[in-house]
Structures are given as C-alpha cells and as structure tokens.
C-alpha cells in the first residue's frame, strides 16, 4: 500500500451519509447472488464502476440523444440500480448479513463513527415487515458491538420521496417508536430517493413532526438543479444536516438567500464527491462544490453516499478531496476531526474527540 493510501486508511473518520443498500460491497453482492441464482443478477447491474461517466455514456447506445437527456432521465437510470439491489436484499437474513458486512467494512476502513441510513421496506413475498426491517438493522448494530468491532454506529430511518406524504408520516411514527425503544441507536430521519420525483412541500408535516419529537433531520437538498423553491421551504424547518446541497449556491443556479440560510443555522453539509461525479450532477472532481463551502469555513463532511454502487470507500474520498484541492494531511486530519461535531450523537462526541487525540501521534509518524 502506498504511504498516502495508508495515511487515509489509518486516519480516524466519521461517516455521516451512507445508504445501507447502496453501501453493499462486491463480496456481499456475490454472497447474495449465490443465495438467489434464479434472479440472474450480475455485478455490473449493482454498481457504477470506474471511468466515471462511462457507464452512463454506454447507455447512450440505447439513447442516441443522450446529451440532450433531461435530469429526470439520468436520475431514473441511476436509481434503477437500487431496484436491482433491493431484489437481492429481501429477507431478514439478507438485511442482517448486509448490515453486519457494511458495518465491518466501514470499521476496516478506519471509520470510528458511522451513521447508517435505510428505508424500511415491506416485502410481501418473504413476509418481511417495515418494523422487522428496522429491528434487524438494530440487531446487526448490536451484534457488531458485541463482537468488538471498533466502531460506534447509529441509525437514521429514511423516507423515500417516491412513496409520498402518507408513507412519510408512517415512517416518522416508526422512527419515533424506535428512537424511544433502542436506547438512542435511532437518532434521526433522512429524506432521500430520486430527487426528481415529488416535491418537498408534501413532506413538511412529516418532517416537522419528526423534528418536534426529537429526531434529528438530514435532508437531501438541491441534489439536482432547479430545486431552489423546494430547498427554500425545507431550509426553513431547518434541517440539522444537508445531504449534497450541490445546487445551493448562486454560481450553479441556487441563490445567496439559500446560502445565507445555511450559514445562519451553520447547518453542516454531507459532501459525496464520487457519487456526484458518477451521478453526473457535478462535471468533474475539481468542479465539486466542496471547495465553495470549505473555503468559506463552513462545516463540510466528506461522505460516501453509496460506497458499493459507486465503488469507493471513505479513505478514497478523503484522498480524492486532498489531491483534487491540494490539501495537506494535516488539513484532512482537521476535516475528519471537525466532523465529530456534526454527528447526531452528542453523548459520544467527547469520547470520539479523545480517540482522535490518542491516534494523532501515531498517524503523523508514518
């Protein structure tokens, strides 16, 4: 392993934006495929490999007018990948295996604190219920803890915007129940799903309810262009963290008023470089909005989004940010250290700070 690779792997890290089913690794996919050979799923269908835009360009064979495709089309093509993964992960046994593998992989990558998020799913064919879904993820977190995996894990229940306002309200009730019954393992609510579907205004009552009952809110916001109105509404709640926020600032079609709102509340941003480049909302790493917010000194946390789908890990994302924006190892240490203050587990922050300080000397003697 190169010295720089080793540094970023050993760097203690905080992962705040990881969708469970988007984080499934190649080796776990292989185990799932072996369990369900009748589905005829190949790995190419569950991941967007390197070569960035290549996968989407390849689909231009079927879509000759690819370069005129709308954001909606690109988004829907990208989101197909989750439908395939969901077919592979449809029993409690699958969820338990997937969640434990994902947690162990983040730990092996040097992540000391992980906030996983996932959409509770009911599967008629296997009898899995939404409640059992969440219970099983919680069970995976507990088992990893008992097995001594060196990572603290908390869970955000996800609302998929494609499922509408009524389901969102039910999900908030479920999340509230689990927040109360899991001794603090469920810490918040995520709003995600294909950003080109539905409108944020429909989710305001559910999000407000979640906030009022003590759930922290992490909202995917301005992930695609032309959502300034929606972002304005959602920022008024206000959320506790923002996922992506790619099109918030004026240079990319957002507005100063959106930026001012984010700044006023000091709302941390979860930034996922490879996800945005491969998802084609950002044209290249150097154009990523990380720089805009980082230079402003705004709390910015590097995250993976879907490490399995985008074939990456958090060490690689840190290394990419450092090389793209010419940041030093000390800068990256500070970035990972500051991320502790953006977690939804205030009870763990002091312990995490301590851990960082203990690891610092060994890290800089590499």
Ligand X SMILES: CC(C)=CCNc1ncnc2c1ncn2[C@@H]1O[C@H](COP(=O)(O)O)[C@@H](O)[C@H]1O
Q: Which partner from the list Zn ion, ligand X, none does 193 bind, CB cut-off 5 to 8 Å by kind?
A: ligand X
Does 305 bind ligand X (CB under 6 A)? Our answer is yes
- The yes or no reply on residue 21 touching ligand X (CB under 6 A) is yes
Applying CB under 6 A, does 160 fall inside the site for ligand X?
yes
- Within 10 angstroms of residue 71's Cβ, the number of other Cβ atoms is 16
- Torsion angle defined by CA atoms of residues 269, 273, 274 and 276, in that order, rounded to the nearest 10 degrees: 70
Alpha helices for 219-345 (secondary structure H): 228-235, 256-265, 273-278, 290-295, 314-325, 329-338
Residue 20 binds: one of ligand X, Zn ion, none (C-beta under 5 to 8 A by kind) = ligand X
The DSSP bridge partners found for residue 157 are 118, 189
Give catalytic status of residue 123 as yes or no.
no
Token pair in block for residue 249: 């600032």
End-to-end C-alpha distance for the chain, whole angstroms: 13
- 43 Cβ contact list (under 8 Å, min separation 6): 26, 29, 30, 33
Cα(183)–Cα(292) distance, integer angstroms: 38
Please report the beta strands in the chain, taking only residues with DSSP state E, as ranges in sequence order: 13-19, 111-118, 152-160, 186-192, 216-221, 241-244, 269-271, 300-302
Return the range that interacts with ligand X (CB under 6 A); candidates 18-26, 141-149, 201-209, 335-343.
Answer: 18-26
Which of 9, 13, 17, 19 binds ligand X (CB under 6 A)? It is 19
Tokens of 274: 């490879």
- Is 220 an interacting residue with respect to ligand X (CB under 6 A)? yes
Q: How far is the CB of 17 from Zn ion (least distance, A)?
A: 6
- Which candidate, 91, 3, 89, places its Cα nearest to that of 309? 89
Nearer to ligand X, 160 or 332 (CB): 160
Cβ proximity to Zn ion, 19 vs 249, nearer residue: 19
Query: 358, 131 in Cβ contact below 8 A?
Result: no
Our CB check for ligand X shows the closer of 75 and 329 to be: 75
What phi and psi values does residue 122 have, to the nearest 5 degrees?
-100, 135
Which stretch, 105-113, 156-164, 300-308, 350-358, contacts Zn ion (CB under 5 A)?
300-308
Cα distances (angstroms) measured from residue 208 to each of 131, 193, 194, 215, 318:
22, 19, 21, 10, 33
Residue 305 in the binding site for Zn ion (CB under 5 A):
yes
Peptide linkage before 238 cis (omega within 30 of 0): yes
Does the protein bind ligand X through residue 223 (CB under 6 A)?
A: yes
Q: Is 115 in the site for Zn ion (CB under 5 A)?
A: no
249 makes contact, choosing from Zn ion, ligand X, none, with CB < 5 to 8 Å by partner type, with none
Residues 6+ apart with CB under 8 A from 236: 261
Q: Which stretch binds ligand X (CB under 6 A): 99-107, 187-195, 210-218, 251-259?
A: 187-195
When CB distances to ligand X are compared, the closest residue is: 279
Measured from each CB, the residue nearest to Zn ion is: 305
**Which of Zn ion, ligand X, none does 118 bind, CB closer than 5 to 8 A by kind?**
ligand X
Q: Is 20 in the site for ligand X (CB under 6 A)?
A: yes
Tally Cβ neighbours within 10 Å of residue 334: 12
Residue 188 near ligand X by CB under 6 A: no
**Active-site pick, 223, 230, 270, 317:** 223
Indicate which single residue of 16, 158, 219, 258 sits in contact with ligand X (rule: CB under 6 A).
Answer: 158
Rule CB under 6 A: is residue 28 a binding residue for ligand X?
no
The reply to whether 119 sits near ligand X by the rule CB under 6 A is: yes
The answer to the question of residue 193 lying near ligand X (CB under 6 A) is yes
Task: List interacting residues with ligand X (CB under 6 A).
Answer: 19-22, 78-79, 82, 118-119, 158, 160, 192-193, 195, 220, 223, 275, 279, 305-306
Annotated catalytic residues are 223
């Amino acid at each position: 392993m190169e010295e720089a690779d080793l540094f970023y792997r050993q760097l203690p890290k905080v992962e705040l934006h990881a969708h469970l089913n988007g984080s499934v690794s190649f080796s776990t996919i292989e185990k799932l495929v072996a369990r369900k050979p009748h589905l005829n799923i190949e790995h190419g269908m569950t991941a967007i490999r390197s070569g960035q835009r290549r996968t989407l360009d390849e689909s231009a064979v079927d879509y000759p007018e690819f370069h005129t495709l709308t954001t909606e089309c690109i988004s829907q093509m990208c989101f197909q990948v989750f439908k395939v993964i969901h077919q592979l992960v449809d029993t409690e046994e699958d969820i338990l295996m997937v969640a434990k593998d994902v947690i162990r992989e983040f730990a092996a990558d040097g992540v000391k604190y992980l906030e996983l998020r996932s959409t509770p799913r009911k599967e008629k064919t296997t009898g899995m219920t939404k409640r059992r879904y969440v219970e099983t993820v919680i069970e995976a977190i507990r088992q990893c803890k008992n097995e001594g995996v060196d990572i603290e894990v908390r869970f955000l229940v996800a609302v998929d915007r494609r499922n509408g306002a009524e389901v969102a309200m039910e999900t908030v009730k479920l999340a509230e129940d689990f927040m109360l019954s899991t001794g603090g393992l469920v810490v918040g609510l995520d709003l995600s799903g294909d950003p080109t579907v539905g409108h944020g205004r429909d989710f305001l009552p559910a999000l407000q309810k979640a906030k009022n009952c003590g759930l922290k809110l992490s909202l995917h916001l301005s992930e695609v262009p032309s959502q300034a109105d929606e972002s304005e509404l959602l920022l008024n709640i206000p959320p506790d963290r923002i996922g992506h926020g790619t099109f918030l600032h004026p240079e990319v079609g957002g507005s100063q008023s959106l930026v001012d709102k984010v700044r006023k509340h000091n709302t941390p941003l979860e930034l996922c470089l490879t996800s945005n480049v491969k998802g084609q909302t950002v044209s290249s790493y150097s154009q990523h909005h990380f720089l805009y917010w980082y230079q402003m000194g705004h709390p910015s946390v590097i995250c993976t989004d879907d490490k399995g789908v985008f074939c990456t890990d958090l060490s690689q994302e840190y290394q990419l940010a450092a090389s793209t924006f010419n940041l030093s190892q000390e800068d990256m240490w500070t970035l990972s250290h500051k991320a502790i203050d953006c977690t939804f587990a205030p009870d763990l922050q002091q312990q995490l700070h301590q851990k960082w300080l203990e690891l610092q000397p060994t890290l800089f003697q590499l």
